[in-house]
């Protein structure tokens, strides 16, 4: 008996053996169609998995290992789009920190230094906000 864990299989037969890759691909496509998800493939599920992990802050080397990439640079080159959330988060953290510093000085109005409300990254804007 072949154990699935010993071969690190994602899809295996009940006894632990291999499925033909074409059979596995076709079966997943059938399940996706039945669930109302037309055009969803194993590849698109893999891509969604990696993108979601990266956008939630999972380190690139960890995602690369899960995908079986030879190194993290491959993962980074394919999934750089998923890291935009990191850019927005960094801008928000900086924005909040600087608003606290500026707000502590009573002689100057509190200011928001960058508009990071979402969407594409934009050139930072200074927006005055009345205090009190």
117-131: pLDDT as tens digits:
555 555 555 555 555
pLDDT digits over 26-56, tens only? 888 888 899 998 888 888 888 989 988 988 8
Please tell me whether the overall predicted TM-score, pTM, comes out greater than 0.85 for this model: no
Q: What is the pLDDT of residue 57?
A: 82
Kindly tell me if the per-residue pLDDT of 94 is higher than 80.
yes
Q: Do residues 60 and 54 touch, judged by C-beta distance below 8 A?
A: yes
User: Of 99 and 62, which is predicted with more confidence?
Assistant: 62
Please state the φ and ψ torsions of residue 127, each to the nearest 5 degrees: -125, 120
d(CA 120, CA 123) in angstroms, rounded, equals 10
Kindly state the tokens that stand for 14.
């009940």
């Amino acid at each position: 008996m072949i154990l699935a864990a010993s071969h690190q299989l994602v899809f295996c037969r009940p006894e632990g053996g291999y499925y033909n890759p074409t059979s596995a691909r076709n079966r997943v496509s059938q399940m996706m169609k039945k669930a109302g998800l037309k055009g969803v493939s194993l590849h698109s599920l893999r891509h969604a998995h990696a993108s979601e992990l990266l956008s939630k802050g999972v380190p690139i080397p960890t995602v690369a290992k899960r995908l079986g990439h030879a190194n993290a640079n491959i993962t980074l080159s394919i999934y750089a789009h998923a890291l935009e959330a990191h850019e927005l988060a960094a801008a928000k953290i900086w924005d909040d920190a600087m608003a606290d510093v500026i707000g502590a000085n009573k002689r100057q109005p509190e200011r928001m230094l960058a508009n990071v409300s979402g969407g594409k990254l934009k050139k930072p804007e200074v927006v005055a906000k009345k205090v009190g």
